[in-house]
Amino acid sequence: MDILPSDLSVRRLYEAMTAIITPRPIAWVSTIDHEGVCNLAPYSFFNGVGANPPTLMFCPANRADGTAKDTLANIRANGQFVVNIVTEEMFGEMKHSALEIPSEEDEFTLTGTQKTPSAIVAPPRVSNVAAAMECELLTSMQLGVGPGGANLVVGRIVSVHLHDDTLDADGRVDPEKIATIGRMGGPRYTKTHERFE
């Protein structure tokens, strides 16, 4: 079957893309607004861009009413964010943080997620994550408008926090020690225990 994106609704197209583009790593993004209220939300249209300069990207879609989510609004306002890497033990808190709540409410408090001050940027990171990358906004681009409209955010990584439990004897990251999860189609997720070369 061949599909023309123009023949599908945004919802149907989203369902098809998220079922095909799998597994997707999850960026658990923390930001802060001008009043000091913290925001925490997961995004699975996320990946690394390159190591020179160290950059990553994620794509927050607009809300159902077509407005920017708090994550994007905060980044546009102050140019800083933290990408926290989601592992199995953080799944419940991460999923709970995906709920839309009023801007004046703090998702860290709502979900019971502990926060730790970042080394360089203003937004805090999630405590005890395997890895967290503090970022400064390099560029952002509005790709779509209206409900579900896509936005691209590219951040330069200015500091990386690694939990000691993720390191090998030489101080390098051991991928076998990071039990990341990935997003699949629909409401499903996957674990990353089974690996091969």
DSSP string, the chain: ----GGGS-HHHHHHHHHHHS-SEE-EEEEEE-TTS-EEEEEESSEEEEEETTEEEEE-PPPPTTSPPPHHHHHHHHH-EEEEEEPBGGGHHHHHHTTS---TTS-HHHHHT--EE--SSSSS-EETT-SEEEEEEEEEEEE---STT--EEEEEEEEEEEE-GGGB-TTS-B-GGG--BEEE-STT-EEE------
> Tens of pLDDT along 52-64?
999 999 999 999 8
Percent of the chain at pLDDT above 90? 85
Domain that residue 136 falls in: 24-183
Judge whether 165 lies within some domain. yes
**Residue 193: inside a domain, yes or no?**
no
The answer to the question of residue 38 being in a domain is yes
Domain-embedded: residue 172? yes
Mean pLDDT of 59-74: 94
Q: Residue 64: inside a domain, yes or no? A: yes
Residue 167 lies in a domain: yes
> What's the predicted TM-score (pTM) here?
0.94
User: For the chain, what is the domain count?
Assistant: 1
**Domain contains 5:** no
Q: Is residue 194 one of the residues assigned to a domain? A: no
Q: The domain that contains 101 carries what CATH number?
A: 2.30.110.10
